[in-house]
Amino acid sequence: MIQYWNYLREYKNQKKNVLNSVDKVFQSGTLLFGNELKKFEKNFCKFNKSKYGLGVSSGTDALFIALKCLNIGKNDEVITVSNTAIPTVAAIINTGASVKFADIGKDYLIDANKISTLINKKTKAIIPVHLFGQTCDMDKISNIAKKYKLKVIEDCAQSTGAMYKGKKAGILGDIGCHSFYPTKILGAYGDGGFLTTNNKKLYEKMHRFRFYGIDTLGTNKKWKNKYYSIEHGTNSRLDEIQSSILNLKLKNISFFIKRRRLIAKKYFSGLKNLDIELPLVNKNNFHVFNMFVVSHPKRELILKKMRSKKINLAIHYPYPIHTMEAYKNYKHDNSNHLIETEKKLKMIFSLPIYPSIKNNEIENIIQNIKKILLKL
């Protein structure tokens, strides 16, 4: 059976190092806010070319904290896409704000040309989702944000290491929100998230917010390191165990990305000139291929036939957010038809692309898809 995703091979290869790292944490006597987190925050900022950064408990929390620290809440509106994972929208709604959905382009990313018509007096921010491993058109988005005085929060959950015109995802807007969910480019063995910014004041505010509004940086001399809440906050901590594992895996992130890009190259080469829509890689983008998403109108039949060959594919995502029961109150109106979103999400599916998948398995996937397509 070829699984869509499997971390066990990676763990088997790194088992000794992982267990040593975890044991080191247990032996230290510190499970939260210790040296491993400090080390990882420093290392990740260096990798991402960001001035400031902090670990939090998940990518969802990163989005929520970013929104709250930009003072977004009740009666505000945030523009994003319906073609995304639920957490993008859940984080917006959890602040008390509302969401406006923009349509996507042929690259599955937000269509920057569709944003301006959604802006009104309530609009406070744009969340471009750098989906599947490449960045949105950040020049256009930044220009729109500047024109209308909006904040830009990058959803980098699937694009850690991706670049736009040579700059890393996460430093192209006001705040970048990263996820270390196990399937991501840099995945923990549990959950984790990260916030990046080049704004010192924002960093300090987010740093307080993740720990009940307590000042552990020492920016407030009166209340430095005292159990005293300067402002309302929450509890969102990246623990020492996950930090130690992420420190270990961060050393190999260049290999992870290189391997994903190599697998993508094999798919592009093996599936070219067939009746299947392959990913569109935009100019000025360095794509890290968190997912390799293809499109075909007979998706369900293809998935069924691949399962019969003991090959599991996946769908990202099967339902647009605006069609879900939980978010029906935010459904688009007649002036904002999500035509491309609804069209694409009926046909897309994802091929396995994790670094530890074997070359013969990739070839098996390609050959079986070829056979199926030629018979359709």
Q: Which residues contact 47 (CB under 8 A, 6 or more apart)?
A: 161, 250, 253
Beta strand segments in the chain, E: 52-56, 77-81, 98-102, 123-126, 151-155, 163-164, 167-168, 175-179, 193-197, 285-286, 292-295, 348-351
Instruction: Show which of 250, 285, 305 is a domain's final residue.
Output: 250
Q: Could you report the per-residue pLDDT of 219-272, keeping only the tens digit for each?
A: 888 887 789 999 999 999 999 999 999 999 999 999 999 999 999 999 999 999
- State the pLDDT at residue 31: 96
Of the candidates 110, 116, 63, the residue with the CA atom closest to the CA atom of residue 84: 110
Per the domain annotation, does 206 fall within a domain?
yes
Q: Which letter does DSSP use for residue 63 in this model?
A: H
* DSSP letter assigned to residue 280: P
Q: What is the CATH number of the domain that holds 340?
A: 3.90.1150.10
Mean local confidence (pLDDT), 205-214: 96
Share of the chain above pLDDT 70, in %: 98
Domain match, 83 and 171 both: yes
Is 241 in the same domain as 316? no
Residues 234 and 371 in one domain: no
Computed over every residue of the chain, the mean pLDDT equals 96
pLDDT level of residue 334 (50, 70, 90 thresholds): very low
pLDDT at 230: 92
Q: What is the pLDDT of residue 186?
A: 98
pLDDT confidence of residue 28: 96
CATH code for the domain in which residue 163 is found: 3.40.640.10
DSSP string, 207-235: HHHTBTTB--S-SSTTTTTSS-BSS---B
| 271-287 residues labelled b (16+ CB within 10 A) or e (exposed) | beebebbebeebeebbb
For residue 219, give its domain range.
8-250
Contact predicate 269/241, CB 8 Å: no
Locate 16 and state its tokens.
């000794």
Considering the domain architecture, whether residues 168 and 88 belong to the same structural domain is answered as yes
Cα separation, 35 vs 7, in Å, equals 26
Strands 167-168, 98-102: pairing kind: unpaired
Average pLDDT over residues 1-16: 94
User: What pLDDT score was predicted for residue 331?
Assistant: 63
Closest-CA residue to 77 (of 33, 124, 110): 124
- Is residue 242 located within the same domain as residue 284? no
Tens of pLDDT, residues 154-189: 999 999 999 999 999 999 999 999 999 999 999 999
- Split at pLDDT 50, 70, 90, the class of 336 is low
Which tens digits make up the pLDDT trace of 57-113? 999 999 999 999 999 999 999 999 999 999 999 999 999 999 999 999 999 999 999
Q: Which residues pair with 196 in a beta bridge?
A: 53, 176
Choosing from 227, 250, 273, the residue where a domain stops is 250
Is residue 327 situated within a structural domain? yes
- Number of structural domains the chain divides into: 2
